[in-house]
């Protein structure tokens, strides 16, 4: 079952985030078992050329490639979709108009108004008709709920035809409340409770980005009802593994050195 079908059935899916442009990063993460991977163009220095290469690798590994845009920009949407992205994650969708603008940019007429061209997605012109049929049934639009304005308009945003689900951006959402990073603040908790209440009424999957590589937090979000979950990001996986290993090495070496000194002292008595 592909990602679009799982979203329609509101089934649990777990993916992750890529901000480092090296192809090996995408290949390693794609082969790790994630169902989808997001190439991040908002908070990274990844170029459109590098994004195409990452999309290609993710797709060839049998994983769904998505792109988080730098803005709700129809031109950027057209370019990443033509590069082969299966869908987009769109920042700062705060209104019905924002959501309609995204859907319009993803789909060809008569559903939307995306410009029609031939690139990698269309097999470089070899199968335009096949891509057109695929796009209609399989393209994915995920809106990011990362501002209190979006929370206030969430039910209406999710009612827009073509929006497949949403994902909470916790850092920006807390920032919009003037409490950046304070996830346990009462105002933040209240906003998240409102999101959860609405998502129970609306038959579209709710998503959350568990930014830190914390499995317990991921399980908590599943228990709370989130079904489209992004688990951490490439550089945090790398940084956590490095720091944990170095701490262990230093700890083991420290114990080993103490034991070595004790043996030396004993031997010299």
What is the CATH classification number for the domain harbouring 157?
Answer: 3.20.20.60
Selecting among 22, 43, 147, 185, the annotated active-site residue is 43
Please list the ranges in the chain whose pLDDT falls under 50: none
Encoded tokens for 7 = 């979203």
CA distance 214 to 19: 19
162 in any annotated domain: yes
What pLDDT sits at residue 252?
74
182 in any annotated domain: yes
Cβ–Cβ under 8 Å, residues 148 and 176:
yes
CA distance 53 to 30: 13
69 in any annotated domain: yes
Domain interval for residue 64: 3-237
What is the C-alpha radius of gyration for the chain, rounded to an integer number of angstroms? 22
pLDDT tens column, 145-173: 999 999 999 999 999 999 999 999 999 99
pTM for the model: 0.91
259 in any annotated domain: no
Domain tally, the chain: 1
Whether 22 is a known active-site residue: answer: no
Q: Is 178 left (phi over 0), alpha (psi -120 to 50) or beta?
A: left
What pLDDT sits at residue 267?
57
pLDDT tens column, 72-88: 999 999 999 999 999 99
């Amino acid at each position: 079952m592909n990602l679009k079908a799982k979203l329609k059935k509101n089934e649990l899916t777990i993916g992750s985030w890529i901000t480092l442009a090296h192809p090996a990063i995408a290949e390693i993460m794609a082969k790790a078992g994630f169902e989808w991977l997001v190439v991040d163009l908002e908070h990274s220095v990844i170029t459109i050329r590098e994004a195409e290469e990452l999309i290609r690798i993710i797709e060839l590994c049998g994983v769904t490639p998505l792109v988080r845009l730098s803005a709700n920009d129809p031109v950027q949407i057209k370019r990443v979709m033509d590069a082969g992205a299966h869908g987009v994650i769109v920042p700062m969708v705060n209104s019905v108009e924002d959501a309609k603008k995204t859907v319009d940019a993803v789909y060809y007429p008569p559903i939307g108004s995306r410009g029609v061209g031939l690139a990698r997605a269309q097999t470089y012109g070899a199968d335009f008709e096949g891509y057109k049929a695929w796009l209609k049934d399989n393209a994915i639009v995920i809106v990011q709920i990362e501002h209190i304005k979006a929370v206030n308009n969430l039910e209406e945003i999710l009612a827009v035809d073509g929006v497949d689900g949403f994902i909470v951006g916790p850092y920006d959402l807390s920032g919009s409340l003037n409490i950046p990073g304070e996830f346990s603040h009462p105002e933040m908790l209240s906003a998240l409770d409102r999101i959860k209440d609405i998502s129970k009424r609306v038959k579209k999957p709710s998503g959350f980005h568990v930014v830190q590589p914390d499995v317990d937090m991921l399980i908590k979000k599943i228990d709370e009802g989130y079904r489209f979950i992004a688990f951490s990001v490439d550089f945090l996986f790398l940084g956590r593994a490095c720091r944990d290993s170095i701490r262990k090495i230093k700890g083991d070496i420290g114990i080993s050195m103490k034991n070595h000194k004790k043996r030396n002292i004993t031997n010299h008595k």
